[in-house]
Structure 1
């Protein structure tokens, strides 16, 4: 059994040891290299991931060829190309490992089997979906009226690890600005 995954689950719900065993049995450990693509545009996302070490990035590419980052996931968090994973339609997103990472991966069919048969696991999934929705709403509404400097301050307050772990180019795409604009704003702080 994986202690990090167990700790993640136990910190969110009360769960029986036998249920943790069932959950762990369906997660497969994998290692990725830097910039390894886990789901590409046009692919149907078949897996959900728990990050033991490393960082994953979810982004799409706009009509002009620019990256638009939707989310970064660091250690002890969950991620997937959610829309494709849930709807089983071709993804508009790319899910990539930004650095060598150790992950636990679960197939979609096994994932939903756990959601349907283990109420504690369903609760963890619902918490994840609620967090993803709230995080997206906060970013959208906060960023709509913000100046660039305020966006940078928001990230410094709410997601400070991003600035030390993630490339400036990727952070800039998350903030909806160019890398040079981000550099200028960092110099002002």
Structure 2
């Protein structure tokens, strides 16, 4: 029986069945609880996560103690505290479970070994990084000049699942506004 990460690799790469089995065998399946912390500020990130089920949230806490959400990962997506994962310097991010989740986890070293062993897996990583960069850049540039209502419309168009799966407080943090402002904007639509 094929598991979720195997199916994902099958659909998104040209890896052989044997290569997919080798790669997926390097991941460990873990179940985590809502609000469980996977990576935290000040620690070096040593793992990459694939979401089978649930939702993870990557965020920072500003000097005033406010959450600033950078990214949500839903099913069939990879996530990590990327800057720390790449540089191996202490993270500025927290990575937590926004809801109960089932994940596939791989160590940084095992991941690097697999990208060196399988060029198709490295291509998938490169595509994932490129998509994340483009998405972040779109979001930043779009949000810089947007009014709150337009930010909400952007999320409705580009990431509609967030509004049904994620708490208003977390979505507001992602949009760079307060929860009460988000509630008022939702009422206008």
Task: Report the TM-score, using the length of structure 2 for normalisation.
Answer: 0.98
2:106 alignment counterpart: 106
How far apart are 1:7 and its partner, in Å? 1.7
CA contact (8 A) 1:2 1:24 kept: no
The 4+ residue runs of structure 1 with deviation greater than 6 A are none
1:118 alignment counterpart: 118
The answer to whether the aligner puts 1:45 opposite 2:54 as a matched pair is no
1:83 alignment counterpart: 83
Query: In the comparison of the two structures, how many residue pairs are matched?
Result: 189
1:111-150 pair list within 5 angstroms: 111-150=111-150
How far apart are 1:2 and its partner, in Å? 5.0
Q: Comparing 17-26 with 162-171, which one deviates more in the overlay?
A: 17-26
- Distance in 2, Cα, partners of 1:179 & 1:2: 41
Task: Report the TM-score, using the length of structure 1 for normalisation.
Answer: 0.98
Cα deviation digits, residues 137-167 of structure 1 (max 9, x gap): 0000000000000000000000000001000
| 3-state SS, counterpart of residue 25 of structure 2 | helix
- Distance in 2, Cα, partners of 1:183 & 1:121: 42
The answer to whether the aligner puts 1:66 opposite 2:66 as a matched pair is yes
- Distance in 2, Cα, partners of 1:137 & 1:123: 21
- Distance in 2, Cα, partners of 1:9 & 1:128: 12
Aligned CA RMSD, in angstroms, stands at 0.9
